[in-house]
Structure 1
Amino acid sequence: PGDAYGEAAAALAQAGLEVHSWVVLAHNSRMGAEHRDTSVVNAYGDRYPWAPCIAQPATRAYLVDLAAEAAVRPGAAGTELESLGWYGLQHLHAHDKTGGVGLGEAGQYLMSLCFCPSCRAGYGERGLDPDGLAAAVRTALEPVWQGLPDDGGWAGVEKLLGAEPAAATRAWRDATARSLQEEAVAAVRAAAPEGFQVLLHADPVSFHVGANPGVDPAHILSVADGVVAPCAGGPALLTPFAEQRRDSAVIAANLTVVSGMGGSPGTLAADAARARELGATEIRLYHAGLASDEDLEAVRKGLGAL
């Protein structure tokens, strides 16, 4: 009850900590449950109610408005925009049973291609027949269901689907995500005071999907003030952003510090040092609010060693 955000922001400010908002955008199972037509539809006709399709005009308008309204809060000096791009099969909002067959990068991409009316029209604009493409995706996935290894990377997508149709789907999805990111960041800046920082949770491989959607590093650093890159699997994703050599850009390494979530709070100092070597300008600790007392003590020691 009451103004939970305001109380938290005041307490943080009193403790000398700068407040930034954190807004989750294209990941919303309630929206999909109440408005079914907004969801991503895969090549088999299944809807992903947790994944709004970012190609749909009404959904895009909603996400842009939400970004500005939720990000610019009283007392906030900046924001981090999560899932501002394509979402897919991963990270459901249900007790899902999708782990029986391990999907690599290629399988995840194919299972995340959307065939809602907006995306079908978009594929048509790229010279693809939507029905033929959906059939091709289903055919391409058959070896995956049979347990054959996923070659991984974009080469794996091209091998399964064919180079030309794969490139056309990626061109459509990349352009759609880019324009949404530009619109959302512009809306936040228009609503925010001067100097308000806008960061995106992002992955430097543009065909990746999820809470840290794929982006083109050069493009996104020309649009936003920087990125927050996931480092649960190591800090390698920082390098493509750092290679842009933009002196003013924030490149934040998101380090998992909760043991129960696979994090390693005891190696925080070493992990942060390695991230700095690869170009990180800041670190994030994911997620202090979920950490045990033991994890928090390890984090304190790690911060003290930095």
Structure 2
Amino acid sequence: MKASAFVYPWDVVGDPAAPGRLAALGVEQVTLASAYHSTRALTPRHPRHRVVTAEYAAVLYPPGDRWSGRGLRPCPAGRWAPADAYGEAAAALAEAGLPVHTWVVLAHNSRLGAEHPDTSVVNAYGDRYPWAPCIAQPATRAYLVDLAAEAAVRPGAQGTELESLGWYGLAHLHAHDKTAGVALGDAGQYLMSLCFCPSCRTGYGAHGLDADALAVAVRDALEPLWRGEADGGGWTGVAKRLGEDTAAATRAWREHTARTLQEEAVAAVRAGAPHGFQVLLHADPVSHHCGANAGVDPAHILSVADGVVVPCTGGPDLLAPFAAQGHADAVLAANFTIVSGMGGSPATLAADAARAGAHGATELRLYHAGLASDTDLAAVRAALSAR
């Protein structure tokens, strides 16, 4: 299986040895961030720095003219990725013989929420989630579609991977998160992620729901969880707490909203891309799930995109619903964390990849070559050389 490693531009820019080191890892491709959220990252081998602080969500190249005069537009990066850091890194990687695909983070942007609070998801209590743009709002959708098109189709890129192209909810590693005191579970996470901004309130109405009554019902459904009761498990727990018809109506609104955004974004990328440009989505096969791996309907998304990148560090089971669709030409990329300190197991990568292949994986993704220690990378080299 072809393997691709995730990297940031700052892993490469200023480190002449980085492209050769990545090529020696045994990967056939690099997935290079072109639009990314705020983060603080270790750079264990860089000759000039050891910690990079990306202070806000930004594009890692100079944004184009399409944003002129628009209220919602991407921010250029600061000193952590100045000028065209993406382009500089991509050129160095290509010179080392590594094809480059872009890595584009979309509906995950704390700066957007800080500067434009009305764009954010609003929960049933009226709390805003500034890291989570509401994908139902027309202006936000237009921004995300144009960002996908611009950040995906960078000079020389042969494909893209679109992350968080769907609903983002409560679960988020925000600054010094203190949100684990109550075990919300899958049902609680869904209820806390339902949005009540004006666009979503209108959307619920179109599905036969009164938004005010729904907000009351959501708060009532969450009350037992605040007292410490178990969540009841998955979608069954949501339906039990909200009622089957109400729960189904909320899900219908959210799934339609996400599906149409995904269709629009992929179409916009294809419209600006050269022939053969590959478009993948980071995806979870449970359509009501939120986050970086957007919840999708497997049959639908494989009819829209060229494939998916699926989180497999916890096991390969999430691959099965995609493999069951029978799309022989679809890319099913199994994404493994290879950083031991972040819960990865690079020492078992060969066996994990084999299990993923048995579950339908056609490619591997390695998160994240720039963050991993030398010991972790040595284990990855051994695993890839054994293919």
Q: TM-score, normalised by structure 2?
A: 0.78
- Aligned position for 1:243: 324
- Aligned position for 1:282: 363
SS at match of 1:147: coil
Q: Does 1:3 align with 2:84?
A: yes
- Candidates 116, 136, 150, aligned match of 1:55: 136
Residues 3-42 of structure 1 aligned to structure 2 (within 5 Å): 3-42=84-123
Q: Does 1:99 align with 2:180?
A: yes
Q: Which amino acid aligns with 1:240?
A: P
Residues 92-131 of structure 1 aligned to structure 2 (within 5 Å): 92-131=173-212
Whole-angstrom CA distance in 2 between matches of 1:179 and 1:9: 31
Whole-angstrom CA distance in 2 between matches of 1:81 and 1:26: 10
- Aligned position for 2:12: none
Deviations 1:71-118 (A, max 9, x none): 000010000000000000011432121010112110000000000000
Q: TM-score, normalised by structure 1?
A: 0.99
- Aligned position for 1:157: 238
Residues 143-182 of structure 1 aligned to structure 2 (within 5 Å): 143-182=224-263
* C-alpha deviation, 1:4, in angstroms: 1.6
More helix by share: 1
SS at match of 2:170: coil
Deviations 1:241-288 (A, max 9, x none): 000110110000001110111000000000000000000000000111
Residues 214-229 of structure 1 aligned to structure 2 (within 5 Å): 214-229=295-310
Whole-angstrom CA distance in 1 between matches of 2:86 and 2:229: 49
SS at match of 1:199: strand
Q: Which amino acid aligns with 1:122?
A: G
Mean Cα deviation higher: 94-103 or 257-266: 94-103
* C-alpha deviation, 1:3, in angstroms: 2.6
Whole-angstrom CA distance in 2 between matches of 1:199 and 1:284: 12
Whole-angstrom CA distance in 2 between matches of 1:23 and 1:38: 19
Q: Which runs of 4+ in 1 moved over 4 A?
A: none
In structure 1, the gaps of 5 or more residues are none
Q: Which amino acid aligns with 1:76?
A: A
- Candidates 325, 333, 346, aligned match of 1:265: 346
SS at match of 1:301: helix
Whole-angstrom CA distance in 2 between matches of 1:17 and 1:222: 28
Whole-angstrom CA distance in 2 between matches of 1:29 and 1:186: 26
- Aligned position for 1:211: 292
Whole-angstrom CA distance in 2 between matches of 1:94 and 1:118: 28
- Aligned position for 1:234: 315
Q: Which amino acid aligns with 1:137?
A: V
Contact 1:50 / 1:92 at 8 angstroms: preserved in 2? no
